[in-house]
């Protein structure tokens, strides 16, 4: 194998891999390639079918002409026989046989051409149906792949989200709050059980007792004043 052939095979192999990878990532390209290939086959088959139909039309014209010629020959033969023109009649009969053979051949060719044309039309319809199916499948598959790709991207993004740091930060805040509350509670308990706490209670009780004594003195003073005023009013009325 020559160097150029090896380089060509290497290049076509690389191109095939590249196109294959591209079609995997872009499935619509694969569908478009398949649709375009079938559309090209459809166009070629349509051209061939047109040729068959054209040939069928020619055969129909050939048969019609042969049938007309046979009719003329038969009339000519009848006239030649009537006039006893044996030589002319023989020539006409030979011509009639030749035209009849050509007519039979044309009729056989027309029957085959009709079958070929019908087969070509069926093939055209089949390819047309397959092209429509591919287009429908392309739209459905591409939509499914796009949907799956979007879901995959969302899933990957969700999987990539880490809330460990955020949760850890919240746990640290909660732990700190609990520790502060505990420290305050411990401080209160220590204060309640210490001498300073007891002294503070005594001072508070003393202050309350002193205030109550003042309140009682004020009430007694006021009651005495009211009694003195009432006695004075009685003396004046006497």
Tens-place pLDDT, residues 145-164: 888 888 888 887 776 655 55
Q: How far apart are CA 70 and CA 77, in angstroms?
A: 10
> Given phi > 0 = left and psi -120 to 50 = alpha, else beta, which region is 85?
beta
pLDDT digits (tens, 9 = 90+) for 10-57: 444 443 444 445 445 677 888 888 889 888 988 888 888 888 888 888
Q: What CATH number is given for 3-161 in this structure?
A: 1.10.287
The pLDDT, as a whole number, for residue 13 is: 44
For residues 69, 72, 77, 83, the Cα torsion angle rounded to the nearest 10 degrees is -150
Is there a contact between 52 and 121 (Cβ–Cβ < 8 Å)?
Answer: no
Query: What's the whole-number mean pLDDT along residues 185-192?
Result: 62
Higher confidence at residue 115 or residue 24?
115
Residues 38, 40, 46: CA angle, nearest 5 degrees: 100
Residue 203 Cα to chain centre, angstroms: 82
pLDDT digits (tens, 9 = 90+) for 78-107: 988 999 988 988 998 999 999 999 999 999
Of residues 107, 115, 130, the one with CA closest to residue 49: 115
Which residue ranges make up each domain of the chain? 3-161, 168-237
Is there a contact between 157 and 43 (Cβ–Cβ < 8 Å)?
Answer: no
Give me the chain's average pLDDT, please.
77
């Amino acid at each position: 194998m020559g160097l150029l052939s090896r380089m060509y095979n290497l290049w076509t192999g690389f191109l095939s891999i590249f196109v294959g990878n591209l079609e995997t990532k872009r499935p619509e390209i694969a569908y478009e390639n398949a649709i375009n290939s079938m559309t090209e086959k459809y166009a070629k088959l349509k051209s061939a079918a047109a040729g068959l139909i054209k040939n069928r039309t020619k055969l129909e014209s050939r048969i019609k002409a042969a049938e007309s010629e046979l009719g003329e020959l038969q009339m000519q033969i009848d006239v030649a026989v009537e006039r006893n023109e044996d030589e002319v009649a023989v020539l006409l009969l030979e011509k009639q046989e030749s035209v009849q053979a050509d007519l039979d051949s044309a009729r056989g060719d027309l029957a085959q051409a009709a079958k070929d044309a019908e087969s070509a039309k069926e093939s055209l319809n089949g390819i047309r149906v397959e092209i429509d199916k591919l287009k429908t499948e392309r739209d459905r598959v591409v939509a499914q792949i796009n949907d799956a790709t979007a879901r995959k991207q969302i899933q990957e993004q969700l999987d990539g989200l880490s809330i460990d740091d955020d949760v850890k930060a919240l746990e640290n805040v909660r732990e700190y709050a609990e520790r502060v509350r505990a420290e305050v509670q411990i401080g209160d308990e220590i204060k309640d059980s210490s001498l300073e706490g007891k002294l503070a209670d005594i001072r508070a009780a003393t202050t309350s007792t002193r205030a109550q004594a003042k309140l009682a003195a004020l009430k007694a003073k006021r009651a005495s004043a009211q009694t003195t005023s009432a006695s004075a009013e009685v003396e004046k009325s006497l």
